[in-house]
Amino acid sequence: MRKGLVGGLVAAVVLVGGCSRSDEKTATEGPGPGGVKYGVDITRTSLGIPHIKAQDFGSLGYGYGYAFAEDNLCVMQEDFVTIRGLRARYFGRDGSYTIQPNGTTANNVDSDFYWRSSATDEAIAPARDHTLPDYKAVTRGFVDGYNRYIRELKAGGHEGRHAACRGADWLFEIEENDMYRRYYRLALIASGSVWINEIATAQPPPLSLPAASAAAARARPAAEPTAEQKAAALRSDPGPFRFFQKDRKFGSNMYALGKDATTDGRSVVYGNPHFPWIGTERLYLAHATIPGKFDIMGASLYGVPAILIGFNDHVAWSHTVSTAYRFTFYELTLNPLNPTQYLYDGQMRDMTAVPLTIDVKNGDGSLSQETRTLYKTHYGPVLVLKAAGIPILGWNNLKAYALRDANAENDSLINQFARWNQAASLDEFIRLHGEVLGIPWVNTVASGPGGKAYYGDISVVPNVPDSKVTTCQAVPLHQVVQLLAPGLPLLDGSRSACEWDTDEDAPRPGIFGPSNLPKIQRDDWVHNCNDSYWLTNPAEPLEGYAGIIGSERSARSLRTRLCIQQITRRLGGTDGRPGNRFDIPTLQDVALSSQILSAQMERDTVVGTLCRLPTLVGSSGPVNVAAACEALRNWDLKANLDSRGAHVWREFYRRVAGPLLPLPIGPENPLLYLTPFSASDPVNTPRGINVLLPTVSVAFADAVKAVADAGFAPDAPMGEIQHPGFIDKAIPIFGGEDFEGAFTVVVAGPISEEGYNIDYGNSYIQTVTWGEDGVEAEGFLTYSESTDPANPHFSDYTREYSAKRWHKLPFRAEQIEADAIRKYRLSE
């Protein structure tokens, strides 16, 4: 066979288990693996899981890159186009791109300017240069394996696959820097990339004023909106601050159970990120092995050839999104004669101008160019934030605002997971957590065979203690920011005394060291369900940490309260199941039980009071609620496929206490609950919805009308209403929303004629323990391994999830062999 077609790549393919589609026979014949640069065997087991057995780290990346491209090429490629700043070049001026986890949508032009200014070679160099040699090799290998697949596709291979991009001009081969840009983008999910539009469009006022008008410029503060006006504007239009509020979609659940919480004394780890079902922040399930050196299985965000949540024979771990902020704002005092100069310790400093030019594809296919100059300070980029048309963080001749991002300075993200993937014990895992300190925005739980239950929010947090906030806050706008992002500092940028501190045990300047970050180990259990570290275990609250990390002695979300109650009820023997400890089947049953805490708390009161009359007055007139009331009386208080009435309750609670309800009716209204929050009983308060509030009965009537307008009966089963919006709509999906107190989570938005189209929620789910033969793991990838509709693994795992059929995750060689459906060898 000609070597030129695929650059001398050689492979042998063996297909087993009835998966012998001709379009999967893609590898070329040639010499054996001896002396090759890359040598890797890939075995696909049930549901398409790739088990990558490599001769070295480079080969590991090579096999991962090739297997991943088989499954998710087009979705990943669009992200590479985006972070190169080429969207307008290939997709034109119209159109946009959304970073699904943080909800930021930027048009193609603004997106390009942001990434051209942000993900520069200079910005990614520290992480690239600092990455461990083994994982530099993994990264290079991924690029080569990914590019091999592209070449095969362009040469006519893989017929029928990747229709969305196989003939596109934006399907180009990637470079190593594309991977490091990808790592950088993932690091900024909870910080810089939330503010894409505010950074990409920030422009100064006129660069100079006549000297005679300088005093007049100083005398015009009345033209600036007041703090009260800015606060009102933010309340009505939170903009990017939505990401930092309690009702954000980006979340997860996790438990670590120690010997005192399990029937056999074996430790258990449960993990369940709530991540997007679309885009590149889906998770990819894989198993990576270098015989005698390396053996790890679990899930990774797209384009990261390291296991981010997973397990081996020595340790298992999971993550949830942390409440800590990863950045601070700085208020700049400007030179009124030149608003690109700012005061710092009595001297004026020049901002750095960043001139940029991008290509824009026109309607006729021709290219034009657009130029924009952005500005940076020594803190970071200048941004302009508006709400309801009012400049909240504006840029005038007196003030501007900059963002310093700790994760833009984080050079250890890949090293953290590289080291963890090779950890030989729980103790080593915990030591590496603080020693590397590269986790960008998540909490961690972990355990190992015979180990304690461990929790730590040992992550990258700006070192801004509360004392510094007191002396350095920029008044009055710091208080305005607190309305929507409590704990996020807005600091005085004119004084070096307001720079971030550095702890002695911090591996990099400007961040807290592990001694000032929350962590705990226990013999019974720890958890996190996206509230702060405070009630990791209510028997041992964690307190005394800086406000920028999280809140203490404050109300927890309904989901966190259910997370805790599920454990305490089980251990108290009051959850209706046999015994008073966890085993794996019991944990799995709890995890997918689809309980709705708000209904457990409030259904009887709501129905008993509001359903006394058959008609209630809603916001648009009378509504007959009799059938809805009957459905709720008979409802099982869950959101399983056969649960009837769950959608009525969801629409009601959405209007009473959900994310779409404007103040003052929502959960911050002290009148909503008859028993207010108490720090001495945080798991059970607030409670007792005040059904006498007129807004509550209106919300109930409006919910019933919304269900009727969507065309669904109030007693319709959830299996007829809820389905994946971007996979196969014939698959029914169980689960409830965060705001109503669900642990088994979906996110869909208000009911429509299509019901609930799920685009977010439970994603990779694992239960892990250890037996005599080593690790024992089961789980799901709820949206399946592939985003390509032509791939046989586009929706198969989703069907298994719908049926609640837990699958063992094959880890040992004999398990993999017994479950193999396809094998192939790649070499180069």
DSSP code per residue over 118-175: HS-HHHHHHHHHHS-HHHHHHHHHHHHHHHHHHHHHHTT-STT--TTTTT-TT-----
Structure confidence at residue 8 (pLDDT): 37
Contacts of 216 (CB under 8 A, 6+ apart): none
**Tokens (6 digits) for 437:** 């300190």
Is 425 a catalytic site residue? no
Whether 151 has a pLDDT exceeding 60, the answer reads: yes
The secondary structure of residue 555, as a DSSP letter, is P
- For helices 584-591 and 558-572, the axis angle rounded to 10 degrees is 150
Give the rounded percent of residues in the chain with a pLDDT score beyond 70: 92
CATH topology of domain 199-245+326-408+466-492: Penicillin G acylase, beta-roll domain (2.30.120)
Say what the pTM is: 0.94
Question: Average of pLDDT values for 480-493?
Answer: 96
Structure confidence at residue 36 (pLDDT): 87
Q: Alpha-carbon distance 461 to 514, whole Å?
A: 10
Contacts of 339 (CB under 8 A, 6+ apart): 204, 205, 206, 207, 395, 396, 397, 400
The secondary structure of residue 662, as a DSSP letter, is P
Contacts of 589 (CB under 8 A, 6+ apart): 577
Structure confidence at residue 221 (pLDDT): 45
Other residues' Cβ atoms within 10 Å of the Cβ of residue 732: 20
Structure confidence at residue 636 (pLDDT): 98
Q: Which of 59, 118, 191, 252 is catalytic?
A: 252
Q: What angle do CA 499, 501, 502 make, to 5 degrees?
A: 140
* pLDDT 10s digits, 777-786: 999 999 999 9
Q: H/E element holding 330?
A: strand 327-335
* pLDDT 10s digits, 690-736: 999 999 999 999 999 999 999 999 999 999 999 999 899 999 999 99
Q: Would you say 694 and 762 are in contact if contact means Cβ atoms under 8 Å apart?
A: no
Residues paired with 96 in a beta bridge: 107
Structure confidence at residue 668 (pLDDT): 52
> Judging by DSSP bridges, how do beta strands 338-344 and 327-335 pair with one another?
antiparallel
Question: Average of pLDDT values for 395-399?
Answer: 97
DSSP code per residue over 355-376: EEEEEEE-TTS-EEEEEEEEEE
* pLDDT 10s digits, 4-19: 333 333 344 444 333 3
Instruction: Say which range, 200-209, 645-654, 796-805, has the weakest mean pLDDT.
Output: 200-209
- In the chain, the largest separation of any two C-alpha atoms, in whole Å, equals 84
Q: Alpha-carbon distance 667 to 689, whole Å?
A: 10
Whether 31 has a pLDDT exceeding 70, the answer reads: no
Confidence of residue 216 (pLDDT cuts 50, 70, 90): very low
Question: Average of pLDDT values for 308-324?
Answer: 98
Q: Would you say 510 and 379 are in contact if contact means Cβ atoms under 8 Å apart?
A: no
Confidence of residue 246 (pLDDT cuts 50, 70, 90): confident
Residues paired with 390 in a beta bridge: 387
**Tokens (6 digits) for 128:** 């690239």
Q: Would you say 815 and 773 are in contact if contact means Cβ atoms under 8 Å apart?
A: no
* pLDDT 10s digits, 153-166: 999 999 999 999 99
Question: Average of pLDDT values for 68-89?
Answer: 98
What is the chain's mean pLDDT, rounded? Answer: 93
User: How far apart, in Å, are the Cα atoms of 295 and each of 136, 302, 313, 422?
Assistant: 18, 20, 8, 8
Q: Where are the domains of the chain?
A: 35-196, 199-245+326-408+466-492, 594-742
Q: Alpha-carbon distance 686 to 675, whole Å?
A: 5
Is 235 buried (19+), middle (13-18) or exposed (0-12) by CB count in 10 A?
Answer: middle
Structure confidence at residue 661 (pLDDT): 40
Structure confidence at residue 16 (pLDDT): 39
Structure confidence at residue 567 (pLDDT): 98
Give the rounded percent of residues in the chain with a pLDDT score beyond 90: 89
Residue 329: which of 448, 485, 148 has the closest Cα? 485
Confidence of residue 76 (pLDDT cuts 50, 70, 90): very high
Q: Alpha-carbon distance 277 to 415, whole Å?
A: 27
Structure confidence at residue 248 (pLDDT): 82
Whether 23 has a pLDDT exceeding 60, the answer reads: no
Whether 209 has a pLDDT exceeding 60, the answer reads: no
Q: Alpha-carbon distance 572 to 582, whole Å?
A: 11
Other residues' Cβ atoms within 10 Å of the Cβ of residue 541: 16
Q: Alpha-carbon distance 354 to 562, whole Å?
A: 49
Whether 329 has a pLDDT exceeding 60, the answer reads: yes
Contacts of 509 (CB under 8 A, 6+ apart): 500, 502
Residues paired with 673 in a beta bridge: 689
Question: Average of pLDDT values for 319-340?
Answer: 98
Residue 193: which of 279, 263, 288, 316 has the closest Cα? 279
Contacts of 324 (CB under 8 A, 6+ apart): 441, 457, 459, 461, 548, 549, 550
Prior bond of 476 cis (ω within 30°): yes
Question: Average of pLDDT values for 269-290?
Answer: 98
**Tokens (6 digits) for 159:** 């017929």
CATH class belonging to 35-196: mainly alpha
Distance of CA 346 to the CA centre of its chain: 41
Structure confidence at residue 658 (pLDDT): 59
Prior bond of 664 cis (ω within 30°): yes
Confidence of residue 342 (pLDDT cuts 50, 70, 90): very high
Structure confidence at residue 112 (pLDDT): 98
What is the phi/psi pair of residue 255, to 5°?
-130, 145
Residue that the structure tokens 């010997």 belong to: 259
Residue 672 or residue 459, greater confidence: 459
Amino acid at 312: N
Q: Alpha-carbon distance 727 to 725, whole Å?
A: 6
Q: Alpha-carbon distance 51 to 64, whole Å?
A: 9
Q: Would you say 792 and 27 are in contact if contact means Cβ atoms under 8 Å apart?
A: no
* pLDDT 10s digits, 405-448: 999 999 999 999 999 999 999 999 999 999 999 999 999 999 99
**Tokens (6 digits) for 445:** 């739980």
Q: Would you say 399 and 377 are in contact if contact means Cβ atoms under 8 Å apart?
A: no
**Tokens (6 digits) for 122:** 């200079």
Structure confidence at residue 447 (pLDDT): 98
Structure confidence at residue 18 (pLDDT): 36
Three-class SS state of 342: strand
Amino acid at 257: L
Q: Do domains 199-245+326-408+466-492 and 594-742 have the same CATH topology?
A: no
Q: Would you say 263 and 581 are in contact if contact means Cβ atoms under 8 Å apart?
A: yes
Domain 594-742 has CATH 1.10.1400.10: yes
Q: H/E element holding 436?
A: helix 426-436
Question: Average of pLDDT values for 179-192?
Answer: 98
* pLDDT 10s digits, 221-243: 446 899 999 999 998 999 999 99
